Amino acid sequence: MCAARVSIETLKTFEPIGSLPDARLNQLAGLCELETVTRNSDPFLVRSIAGQAVYLLRGELVLTYPDGSSKVLVGGSDRSRHPLAHRGEVFTSAKAVTEVELMRIDDDLLDVMATWDQVASAEVSAKKAESTSFANWTMMSGMFSVSSLKYGAFSQLPPAHIDELLRRFERSEAKRGEVVIREGAEGDFYFVIESGRCKVERMVGGVSMLLAELKSGDAFGEEALVSEVKRNATVTMKSDGALLKLSKKDFVELLRAPLLHRVSAEEAHAKVASGAQWIDVRYPSEYQYDKLGGAINIPLSEIRNAFGALDKAKEYVLYCQSERRSAAAAFLLAQRGFRAFVLAGGLWGAARRR
């Protein structure tokens, strides 16, 4: 692996990465691994492709398949814009025809990003159409950064509740010096800083001690809500700003596992054979690349716009890569009375069962 950092311009040439906003791409660039492989060697002999999206940046790579056939992949070609082995195809070996450069990204991380950003983009569009105050979630750092969405407090959020979560946040202006939460008080809200800065202090031996300073995108207040204890610190605005708050009831409710109708691959195919419709909720570029037969494409961010065109008398089986985006879309449809089912495990799960 080399120490160089991949450029945002390079990331924009790949699918589905190129569909992400610049703020996300800038974060993602620091999480990509670049690897140079010498001629005539197998880049996956020591380190496999499992659990990763691997892209060919430059050079020529020959892939050999179980039936003995082979294919040469050239960096910069249309085919190389997509990750290796993401059409459900399985290659038995790979060999660098020339020196090649690969880029590796954690598969699960990429799917988490796609899920949150599609939902957040749709939420921003809806608020703009309603001419109401809104937070641009896709531009926020801290709590909604790439690493936080995968490893932080929101990483355990059921995907189907993301849209509802973003809708239920209340936005309010806050002035410098305003005490947002006070040590010893009951926990009633969870907060995310949209703009401005806060300081966190705690009384220790009768003296107020500064614990931390928070910035845009940072969140606070979750401990009292989750642990059912009183506030253990005081948070005060260090500057004018805006806060997003979520009630304790909504916080608890939306972190619970959603009641969704999941179906196995066999059940899903049986439903489709009986008249149900496949809906691929991924980006159009993903849909065009390896869509299921007869599927229609309604990206997660466009689901709400499709309510009027869908038939409530018909069953729909939704899918994506991992089940994250399809679960979120199915939750939105179910809320409005549609008979929506989720392909359990997504396309990844179906591929593993073959």
Give the residue numbers marked as catalytic.
320
Sheet holding 315-319, edge to edge: 262-263, 339-343, 315-319, 277-280, 296-297
Cα–Cα distance, 183 to 199 (Å, whole number): 13
Q: What sign does the dihedral 151-36-61-56 (CA atoms) show?
A: positive
Rounded CA-CA distance 28/110 in Å is: 9
b/e burial code for range 307-328 (CB count within 10 A of at least 16 → b): eeebeeeebbbbbbbbbbbbbb
Strand pairing class (234-237; 179-181): antiparallel
Handedness of CA 131, 134, 140, 144 (dihedral sign): negative
Angle, alpha carbons 199-245-168 (nearest 5°): 160
Residues composing the chain: 354
Per the DSSP assignment, residues forming a β-bridge with 123 are none
Longest distance between any two alpha carbons in the chain, whole Å: 76
Residue 17: CB atoms within 10 Å:
25
Rounded CA gap, 274 and 269, in Å? 9
Handedness of CA 127, 129, 133, 138 (dihedral sign): positive
How many Cβ atoms sit within 10 Å of the Cβ of residue 47? 13
